[in-house]
Amino acid sequence: MSEENESSVFNMLKKISDNIWEVPMDYKPGMRVPGRIFVSEHLLSILEKETIDQVANVAMLPGIQKYSMAMPDAHLGYGFSIGGVAAFDKEKGVISPGGVGFDINCGVRLVRSNLSEKDVRPRLSKLLDDLFETIPTGVGSKSRLKVSDAELDDIFVNGVQWAVDNGYGVQEDVDHCESGGNIPGADPSKVSVKARKRGRPQIGTLGSGNHFLEVQYVDKIYDEKAASVFGLREGQVTFMIHCGSRGAGHQICTDHLQILTQASRKYNISLPDKQLACAPAQSPEAQDYFKAMLCAANYAWVNRHVIMHWTREVFENTFSKEFGDLGMHLVYDVAHNIAKLEEHTVDGRKAEMYVHRKGATRAFAPGHPDLPEDYRDTGQPVIIPGSMGTPSYVLCSTKAAMDISFGSACHGAGRVMSRKSAKHELHGEQVREELGLMGIQVRASQPSLIAEEAPAVYKSSSEVVDVVHELGIATKVARLLPMGVIKG
């Protein structure tokens, strides 16, 4: 596309406020609602035209409510943009795997400790070596945890409670997972044999791509009151886990995309992009996908839970104390790629709707009944990871999020360079050395993985978080800086 034509595309956007841009309904024929893109002027200047097109395409789907939205970390995705959020009426809307993604319930969890940076720095190298040896990483990595078919069904149905019942973590952890680490309604009979075969050996594995386990410390507190509720203080060591449902989730998405592609034609749904394959929300095809997706979501929570358990064990061995004595409590765990049936208010009317969050974090307001009791007065912790060499953030959700974005916030920094380009332009060992000069140690199975996930390939996490903060969707509580990273 010529620069002139691309410029005209951006000129079609309507500026609502400093960080809100509207994609008008005449941007593309067939849009049922406007689009809303939450970005600063600078972030808009580096946004792909194709991402705007995807926001407009989602606005054409039946039953969509209010707006098709993109968070400030938005970039081109499959069907929906990464950072895409859309809610569809429970009865008149649709369910679309493109609004969830292949890595179902890719998400992140944060664990705090009573260790300080000074406690950990001298032992960091050995700690990272032990973590890298303990947590399987990379494409095709397999767990030392072996489960039977019956146990896999239990994981699909019961999520994190299965992990706790089998000695991984403690009951307190369950309360600090989004949805209690389990969404009822999962049906293992909707999961194919191939998906089961891929998922059985991968519980407790990081996988590849942008997944990581990161040892961090709290560098700055913005909100003393919320930080106290979340158990965070300056100088404190934390660790963050970012991964999802591995091969099980990918296969579940692949299997049901084929079915829903046919269903789109069966129900005469006109699609602006075949990647938006969908079916009426209450149709057998959509409900079968939804029930299988919930299996993958519950599986992903178990995956992160087992990794957390093994990480706690490594810390226990390193510091010769039980994890409870080390104060290693789960702050919160949030999902990034998921569709959930939620109640929201549109035009003064409360209604149930399927909220699709694709590379977006749930951000429920203070007082919401789905939040754990100890966070109910404060609001949900919103965890925004950085990219190896950049800060991660903990924010606190607000009432405004329910009005602006169906209780949703961004999920990370967002890529600006493809993995292929990153491997061509950057050298993993050089990136490792540069991070080392910043006091950040990296462990990865091969240098190319470091190049693919270098800080330079992402937007500024600070700039993305500032947009969310300024919009009032979620406000900054703490900034975390990396000390050591295990890359998938």
Position of tokens 């929300």? Answer: 281
User: Cβ contacts of residue 280 below 8 Å, gap of 6+?
Assistant: 62, 93, 94, 267, 286
On whether the CB atoms of residues 15 and 21 are closer than 8 A, the answer is yes
CA atoms of 122 and 113, how far apart (whole Å): 17
Tell me which residue of 25, 90, 82, 83 sits closest to 59, measured CA to CA.
25
Q: Helix, strand, coil shares of the chain as percentages rounded to 5?
A: 40, 25, 35
Amino acid present at 370: D
Other C-beta atoms closer than 10 Å to the C-beta of 300 total 29
Three-state SS at 148: coil
**Dihedral in degrees, nearest 10, Cα atoms 109, 110, 111, 113:** 170
User: Cβ contacts of residue 459 below 8 Å, gap of 6+?
Assistant: 43, 46, 73, 413, 414, 415, 416
Token pair for residue 151? 């146990």
Catalytic-role residue among 329, 336, 356, 411: 411
User: Cβ contacts of residue 415 below 8 Å, gap of 6+?
Assistant: 75, 82, 457, 458, 459
Token pair for residue 50? 């194709």
On whether the CB atoms of residues 382 and 474 are closer than 8 A, the answer is yes
Instruction: Quote the radius of gyration of the chain (alpha carbons, Å).
Output: 21
411 flagged as catalytic: yes
The residues assigned a catalytic role are: 411
